[in-house]
């Protein structure tokens, strides 16, 4: 049996400790035991999301994949006819799920009992693909329904409308689930090949948090981890730094109030923004658009926004943007006010006091996050895929000054790099009939 | 801090629903929303939630704060005590002029409450359940939205809100729940002092229970949606919130609780009739709702398949394995409550309605004790009341 060397990672301020190790084949395992917790949570993720539009082999050859393949594979692994993961977890009482994002596919369970058995199930089905052309075709119908459901969600529709304008040549602009047409091209062979390349141990991480021990995790992973086959797929640089050609779009949907979504693209040079850049961007957005911002107060008092208004720094490999929006009675006017205020702020900078407030708030969020074993595991996973570590956030935050924020601000709101989506309510002819 | 009242007329309901939000933004000590938000930021980003919901005919109003423990503060702040003091300020010392809330503050909240109501309409899963409830319980207080109606909200005045606030202080049942690693002495002292000068006459909370449906009513409403929503409302034979409550809960879980349930395994997986399909029993109202996302063309078939599964349970056609799956899942759910401070606080606050403060483990033990016969008996008391379908308007050439 190979000896696993565990590294202890600690943060004195948060009073938290976790352990990390590299397992055979390159699998990263991180375990954060939380004394006093009743539940355990495990998250097993592959660095394979909707962005990975092709398999790139070590010799440079590529295999193009239809949009929605990563999400399709997630469905098929979780719910294959041979080994239905839901049915297996029902025998332990755990609640389990899976999700696919732009950058990753993740499988999770949380449980109050039988952690060992649950981890065996999780590692078992994610590593055991089984597809036939028949099961693939059945799934095409189920996912077709899921895609239709998303079409009714105004947030989803606006979001992808925006990505289409900001990143027209970056795979982030494609719907994670694909379309009915693209998923119809998926075959069983294609899914097997994606599984071999993207679910390679060196492309994955397992995180366990809560009522867990390092010894248990080590024993189970060593016993069940399958040997690596060949090389993992590589993710090529994805550059899309041009100013958006189209900068406004309009949607009509059965919503009650008009809505707007405003986005500013940032040039990344094909890389993902680092932790320092993304934390500073989040702090800048909180200072400029959060509930303590003069602009927020003005918009609220003028009747232009409601508490659903929010801003986020959306970023990943080769894409980054500040996105903000919500319901508003006057989309054009609200967007114009926000644009003007942000461009002014980018020139004048933000004040030290406001920055300090945002920094303190962020620190509070980081402390609170340690109560939540699911959120911790997600952060640990994301940090690993980004090439940093969970506690780096706290250490970086401690060192920030308002000068750092003001330097960062310059790159965020570039002239000519913004776009606007407005959703107008479709007139709902409220017909109804009683039988 | 839970402050429940009874659901009543639309106007009173709208006024009461607005109160937690109005109090949140109209504190004498922090007279503008921005000043309050700055205070929260200084408390390391303490999160302040105002809420209005309904649990049966109980109008569940709440104000709550979550903050990091004192030992994580930079400079020895007493954050828990400061937050208790802030909640006390919000509830007892709003900014009033001549006894009234400011007209601007009330107008702002009127707009926001109406928009909250409107935005529900954009979320078709929730919207379709609300519409079914409104149609099924049109003659019961429960039929009203927890936020009231747009007309009732828009008619509210600063005088109405001042009266609603005074009524809240004297008539709401109240419970303060603290989940903390520290001791609660400072929090208790703060609120003991605040309540000392108030004459209290709390309402009696209860619900209107209609044990059986008299006839099935069906409604179809048309909106341009990609995925149709089918919602079924049932009466479950409960005469009060304790009447075969645990058996009904087990029955609903086997019917449509988790991924092992009849609705999931048969209607969704085996027959591929729904994208999602689940059942939830409402102990506070004696009802059960089944909600699903369907292809419009398959809605009728889905309705039949859902009712077939209920009939199967009534006839005892379900395996012991399914009961075991359900128990395991509920066991896990209840045993998990204790790990999140917010869920623990929510869990114990509903004791205000039920009068019982059983631990999650004790609740689970009562569910576990429910027998197969009791599940069948509970299912036999279920009657279909209302069928609601939300779909795109008929076009020519559509199949019937």
Domains of chain A, each with CATH number or no CATH: 7-224 (3.30.830.10), 248-425 (3.30.830.10)
Question: In sequence order, which residues have a C-beta less than 8 Å from that of residue A328 and are 6 or more positions away?
Answer: A257, A258, A259, A260, A304, A305, A309, A334
Instruction: Name the closest residue on chain B to residue A434, using Cα atoms.
Output: B219
pLDDT tens column, A268-285: 999 999 999 999 999 999
Q: Rounded to a whole number, what is the distance in Å from the CA of A126 to chain B's nearest CA?
A: 18
Task: Tell whether B319 and B386 lie within a shared domain.
Answer: yes
pLDDT above 70 (res A82):
no
The ipTM value here is 0.88
**Cβ separation of A90 and B111 shorter than 8 Å?**
no
Q: Is the separation of the CB atoms in A215 and A33 below 8 Å?
A: no
3-state class (DSSP) for residue A96: strand
Taking one residue from A and the other from B, the number of pairs with CB-CB distance under 8 angstroms is: 174
Q: Is the separation of the CB atoms in A390 and A9 below 8 Å?
A: yes
pLDDT tens column, B321-346: 999 999 999 999 999 999 988 999 99
Task: Tell whether B235 and B379 lie within a shared domain.
Answer: yes
Q: Indicate which of B30, B34, B324 best probes the interface with A, i.e. most A CBs within 10 Å of its own CB.
A: B34
Instruction: Name the closest residue on chain B to residue A112, using Cα atoms.
Output: B332
pLDDT tens column, A163-208: 999 999 999 999 999 999 999 999 999 999 999 999 999 999 999 9
* Mean residue pLDDT across chain A: 93
The more confident residue out of A34 and B123 is A34
Please, which residues 282-301 of chain B have a Cβ atom closer than 8 Å to chain A?
A: 293, 295
Lowest mean pLDDT among A425-429, B113-117, B163-167, B396-400: B396-400
Q: Is the separation of the CB atoms in B327 and B371 below 8 Å?
A: no
A348 inside 8 A of chain B by CB: no
pLDDT tens column, B70-121: 999 987 788 999 999 999 999 999 999 999 999 999 999 999 999 999 888 8
- Dist. CA A201–CA A407, nearest whole Å: 39
Task: Tell whether B178 and B276 lie within a shared domain.
Answer: no
Q: Is the separation of the CB atoms in A218 and A386 below 8 Å?
A: no
Do the domain assignments include residue B207? no
Residue B396 confidence (pLDDT): 47
Q: Is the separation of the CB atoms in A279 and A393 below 8 Å?
A: yes
Task: Tell whether B156 and B254 lie within a shared domain.
Answer: no
Q: Rounded to a whole number, what is the distance in Å from the CA of B259 to chain A's nearest CA?
A: 6
Task: Tell whether B141 and B278 lie within a shared domain.
Answer: no
Task: Tell whether B262 and B387 lie within a shared domain.
Answer: yes
Residue A428 confidence (pLDDT): 58
A248 inside 8 A of chain B by CB: no
Do the domain assignments include residue B399? no
- Dist. CA B73–CA A434, nearest whole Å: 59
Question: In sequence order, which residues have a C-beta less than 8 Å from that of residue A335 and are 6 or more positions away?
Answer: A260, A262, A420, A422
Angle, CA of A127, A133 and A135, to the nearest 5°: 65
- Dist. CA B4–CA A406, nearest whole Å: 46
B325 inside 8 A of chain A by CB: yes
pLDDT tens column, A375-421: 999 999 999 999 999 999 999 999 999 999 999 998 999 999 999 99
**Cβ separation of B339 and A38 shorter than 8 Å?**
yes
Task: Tell whether B182 and B222 lie within a shared domain.
Answer: no
3-state class (DSSP) for residue A214: helix
Copy the structure tokens of residue A225. Answer: 């981890």
Instruction: Kindly report the CATH number assigned to the domain that includes residue B386.
Output: 3.30.830.10
Select from B92, B366, B382, B60 the least CA-distant residue to B211.
Answer: B382
- Dist. CA A355–CA A363, nearest whole Å: 12
Burial of A169 (0-12, 13-18, 19+ CB in 10 A): exposed
Percent of chain B with pLDDT over 90: 86
Copy the structure tokens of residue B73. Answer: 């503060």
- Dist. CA B78–CA B184, nearest whole Å: 12
B195 inside 8 A of chain A by CB: no
Task: Write down the residue that tokens 């024993």 correspond to.
Answer: A219
Copy the structure tokens of residue B152. Answer: 């009732």
Say if strands B58-66 and B5-6 run parallel, antiparallel, or are unpaired: antiparallel
Give the residue numbers of A marked as catalytic: 74
pLDDT tens column, A123-153: 999 999 988 888 888 888 878 878 888 888 8
Copy the structure tokens of residue A219. Answer: 């024993």
Distance of CA B233 to the CA centre of its chain: 16
Select from B18, B21, B81 the least CA-distant residue to B46.
Answer: B81
Please, which residues 154-213 of chain A have a Cβ atom closer than 8 Å to chain B?
A: 154, 210
Do the domain assignments include residue B203? no
The more confident residue out of B123 and A19 is A19
Select from A56, A53, A38 the least CA-distant residue to A93.
Answer: A38
Of B46, B336, B393, the CB nearest to A110: B336
Do the domain assignments include residue B211? no
Final residue in a domain of this structure, among B160, B195, B230: B195
Lowest mean pLDDT among A12-21, A133-142, A231-240: A133-142
**Cβ separation of A38 and B226 shorter than 8 Å?**
no
B276 beta partners: B293
Do the domain assignments include residue B206? no
Burial of A192 (0-12, 13-18, 19+ CB in 10 A): middle
Copy the structure tokens of residue B65. Answer: 């704060």
Structurally, chain B folds into a number of domains equal to 2
Copy the structure tokens of residue B60. Answer: 């569940």
Task: Tell whether B173 and B259 lie within a shared domain.
Answer: no
Question: In sequence order, which residues have a C-beta less than 8 Å from that of residue B216 and are 6 or more positions away?
Answer: B384, B385, B386, B387
Instruction: Name the closest residue on chain A to residue B33, using Cα atoms.
Output: A297
Neighboring chain A residues of B66 at a CB cutoff of 8 Å: 368
**Cβ separation of A291 and B328 shorter than 8 Å?**
no
- Dist. CA A197–CA A55, nearest whole Å: 8
Q: Rounded to a whole number, what is the distance in Å from the CA of B12 to chain A's nearest CA?
A: 23
Do the domain assignments include residue B400? no
Residue A433 confidence (pLDDT): 61
Distance of CA A379 to the CA centre of its chain: 10
Task: Tell whether B120 and B267 lie within a shared domain.
Answer: no
Return the number of other C-beta atoms located less than 10 Å from residue B307's C-beta.
Answer: 15
Instruction: Name the closest residue on chain B to residue A308, using Cα atoms.
Output: B116
Task: Tell whether B287 and B368 lie within a shared domain.
Answer: yes
Instruction: Name the closest residue on chain B to residue A140, using Cα atoms.
Output: B272
Tell me the HSE value of B103 on the side-chain side, using a 13 A CA sphere: 0
| pTM value > 0.90 | yes
Select from A116, A97, A95, A94 the least CA-distant residue to A105.
Answer: A97
pLDDT above 90 (res B387):
yes
A56 inside 8 A of chain B by CB: no
Q: Is the separation of the CB atoms in B2 and B349 below 8 Å?
A: yes
Do the domain assignments include residue B165? yes
Q: Indicate which of A42, A152, A287 best probes the interface with B, i.e. most B CBs within 10 Å of its own CB.
A: A152
3-state class (DSSP) for residue B71: helix
Outline where chain B has alpha helix (H). 10-25, 33-42, 79-92, 103-122, 124-136, 150-154, 158-171, 185-195, 245-256, 262, 299-314, 320-336, 341-349, 351-354, 360-368, 372-380
Query: Domain range spanning residue B176?
Result: 5-195
Task: Tell whether B138 and B267 lie within a shared domain.
Answer: no
3-state class (DSSP) for residue A140: helix
A98 beta partners: A107
Task: Tell whether B189 and B221 lie within a shared domain.
Answer: no
Do the domain assignments include residue B339? yes
């Amino acid at each position: 049996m190979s000896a696993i060397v565990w590294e202890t990672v600690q943060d004195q301020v948060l009073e938290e400790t976790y352990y990390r190790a590299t397992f055979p084949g390159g699998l990263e395992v991180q375990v954060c035991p939380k004394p006093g917790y009743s539940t355990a949570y495990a998250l097993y993720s592959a660095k394979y999301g909707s962005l990975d539009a092709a398999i790139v082999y070590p010799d440079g050859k590529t295999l193009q994949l239809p949009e929605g393949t990563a999400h399709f594979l997630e469905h098929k692994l979780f719910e294959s006819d041979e080994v239905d993961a839901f049915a297996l977890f029902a025998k332990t009482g755990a609640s389990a799920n899976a999700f696919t994002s732009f950058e990753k596919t993740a499988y999770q369970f949380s449980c109050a009992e039988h952690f060992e058995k649950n981890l065996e199930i999780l590692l078992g089905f994610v590593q055991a693909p089984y597809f036939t052309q028949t099961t693939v075709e059945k799934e095409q119908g189920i996912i077709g329904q899921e895609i239709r459901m998303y079409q009714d969600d105004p947030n989803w529709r606006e979001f992808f409308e925006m990505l289409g304008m900001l990143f027209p040549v970056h795979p982030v602009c494609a719907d994670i689930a694909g379309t009915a047409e693209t998923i119809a091209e998926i075959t069983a062979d294609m899914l097997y090949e994606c599984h071999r390349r993207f679910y390679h141990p060196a492309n994955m991480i397992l995180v366990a948090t809560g009522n867990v021990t390092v010894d248990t995790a080590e024993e189970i992973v060593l016993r069940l981890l399958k040997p690596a086959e060949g090389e993992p797929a590589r993710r090529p640089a994805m550059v899309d730094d041009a100013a958006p050609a189209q900068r406004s779009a309009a949607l009509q949907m059965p919503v009650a109030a008009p809505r707007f979504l405003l986005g500013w693209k940032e040039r990344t040079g094909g890389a993902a923004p680092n932790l320092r850049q993304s934390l500073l961007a989040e702090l800048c957005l909180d200072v400029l658009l959060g509930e303590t911002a003069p602009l927020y107060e003005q918009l609220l008092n003028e009747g232009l926004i409601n508490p659903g208004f929010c801003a986020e720094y959306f970023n990943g490999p080769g894409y980054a943007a500040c996105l903000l929006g919500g319901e508003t009675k006057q989309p054009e006017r609200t967007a114009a006010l926000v644009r003007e205020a942000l461009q002014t702020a980018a020139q004048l900078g933000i004040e030290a006091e406001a920055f300090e407030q945002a920094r303190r708030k962020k620190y509070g969020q980081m402390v609170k996050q340690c109560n939540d074993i699911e959120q911790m595991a997600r952060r640990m996973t994301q940090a690993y895929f980004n090439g940093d570590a969970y506690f780096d956030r706290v250490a970086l935050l401690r060192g920030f000054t308002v000068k750092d924020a003001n330097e960062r601000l310059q790159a965020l709101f570039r002239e000519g790099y913004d776009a606007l989506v407005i959703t107008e309510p479709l007139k709902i002819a409220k017909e109804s009939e009683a039988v | 801090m839970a402050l429940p009242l009874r659901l009543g007329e639309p106007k009173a309901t709208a006024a009461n629903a607005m109160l937690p939000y109005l109090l949140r933004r109209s504190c004498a000590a922090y007279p503008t929303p921005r000043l309050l938000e700055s205070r929260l930021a200084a408390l390391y980003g303490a999160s302040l939630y105002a809420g209005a919901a309904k649990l049966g005919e109980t109008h569940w109003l709440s104000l709550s704060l979550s903050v990091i423990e004192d030992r994580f503060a930079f400079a020895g702040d007493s954050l828990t005590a400061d937050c208790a003091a802030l909640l006390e300020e919000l509830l007892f010392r709003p900014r009033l002029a001549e006894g009234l809330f400011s007209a601007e503050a009330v107008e702002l909240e009127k707009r926001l409450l109406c928009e909250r109501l409107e935005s529900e309409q954009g979320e078709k899963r929730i919207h379709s359940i609300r519409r079914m409830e409104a149609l099924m319980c049109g003659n019961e207080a429960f039929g009203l939205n927890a936020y009231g109606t747009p007309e009732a909200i828009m008619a509210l005045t600063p005088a109405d809100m001042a009266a609603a606030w005074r009524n809240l202080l004297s008539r709401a049942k109240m419970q303060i729940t603290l989940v903390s690693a520290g001791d609660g002495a400072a929090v208790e002292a703060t609120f003991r002092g605040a309540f000392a000068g108030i004459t209290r006459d709390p309402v009696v909370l209860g619900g209107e229970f209609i044990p059986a449906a008299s006839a099935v009513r069906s409604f179809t409403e048309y909106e341009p949606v990609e995925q149709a929503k089918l919602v079924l409302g049932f009466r479950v034979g409960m005469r009060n919130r304790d009447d075969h409550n645990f058996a009904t809960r087990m029955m609903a879980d086997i019917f449509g609780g988790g991924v092992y349930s009849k609705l999931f395994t048969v209607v969704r997986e085996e027959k591929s009739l729904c994208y999602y399909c689940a059942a939830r029993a409402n102990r506070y109202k004696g009802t059960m709702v089944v909600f699903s996302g369907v292809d419009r063309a398959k809605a009728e078939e889905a309705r039949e398949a859902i009712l077939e599964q209920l009939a199967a349970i009534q006839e005892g056609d379900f395996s012991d394995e399914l009961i075991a799956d359900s128990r395991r899942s509920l066991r896990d759910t209840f045993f998990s409550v204790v790990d999140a401070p917010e869920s623990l606080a929510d869990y114990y606050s509903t004791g205000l309605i039920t009068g019982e403060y059983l631990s999650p483990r004790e609740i689970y033990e009562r569910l576990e004790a429910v027998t197969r016969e009791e599940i069948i008996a509970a299912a036999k008391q279920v009657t279909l009341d209302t069928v609601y379908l939300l779909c795109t308007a008929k076009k020519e050439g559509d199949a019937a």
